[in-house]
């Protein structure tokens, strides 16, 4: 089943592409590689803020990583016109705004990883880093960037 068909089957509606607020691009294609700029969780047009592990639960952090993944899917679609041009997800870098003693970054970033496997199947499985940060831009809870292989 194609990624676009899976998206419909799952009843997922993608949000509008995030407009950069600084001097960068939401994505860049180099050869057969698509690089996505870091994105954070948005809901109803607002960036979701707060430290995971103190102000935000792990479960809510997971949901926010999933929301971030939905925004990333919008960027992929904007870059490639269709999700069906994705060959596979190469790597994610997931950053979690958390206190120094927080140790569950992987549980949070699984929100995005699980979404990508739901949409792309085995092609959505990827290498990944999930790290803690003392802060993220504007105080957002999660930021994720990705590297994606494009079908020839």
pTM of model > 0.85? yes
pLDDT at 1: 87
Q: What is the CA radius of gyration of the chain?
A: 15
Tell me what the mean pLDDT of segment 47-60 comes to. 98
d(CA 100, CA 74): 32
pLDDT at residue 19, rounded to an integer: 82
Q: Which two tokens stand for residue 24?
A: 């960068």
What total number of domains does the chain contain? 1
Share of the chain above pLDDT 70, in %: 100
Provide the residue range defining the domain that includes 111.
3-150
> Taking Cα atoms as reference points, which of 148, 142, 43 lies closest to residue 92?
148
Q: What is the share, in percent, of the chain residues with pLDDT greater than 90? A: 95
pLDDT digits (tens, 9 = 90+) for 95-146: 999 999 999 999 999 999 999 999 999 999 999 999 999 999 999 999 999 9
- Output DSSP code: residue 50: -
Identify the band that residue 46 occupies on the pLDDT scale cut at 50, 70 and 90. Answer: very high
The CATH number covering residue 36 comes to 3.30.1330.40
Query: In the chain, which residue ranges form alpha helices assigned H by DSSP?
Result: 3-10, 58-80, 105-120
Residue 21 has pLDDT above 90, yes or no: no
**What's the rounded Cα separation, in Å, for the pair 102 and 37?**
25
């Amino acid at each position: 089943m194609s990624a676009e068909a899976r998206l419909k089957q799952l009843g997922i509606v993608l949000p509008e592409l995030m407009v950069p607020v600084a001097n960068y691009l939401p994505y860049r294609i180099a050869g057969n590689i698509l690089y996505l700029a870091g994105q954070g969780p948005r809901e109803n047009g607002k960036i979701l803020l707060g430290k995971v592990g103190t102000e935000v639960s792990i479960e809510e952090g997971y949901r926010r990583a999933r929301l971030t993944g939905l925004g990333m899917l919008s960027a992929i679609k904007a870059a490639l016109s269709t999700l069906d041009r994705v060959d596979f997800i190469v790597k994610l870098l997931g950053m979690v705004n958390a206190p120094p003693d927080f140790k569950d970054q992987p549980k949070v970033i699984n929100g995005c990883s699980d979404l990508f496997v739901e949409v792309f199947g085995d092609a959505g499985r990827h290498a990944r880093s999930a790290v803690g940060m003392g802060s993220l831009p504007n105080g957002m809870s999660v930021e994720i960037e990705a590297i994606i292989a494009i079908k020839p």
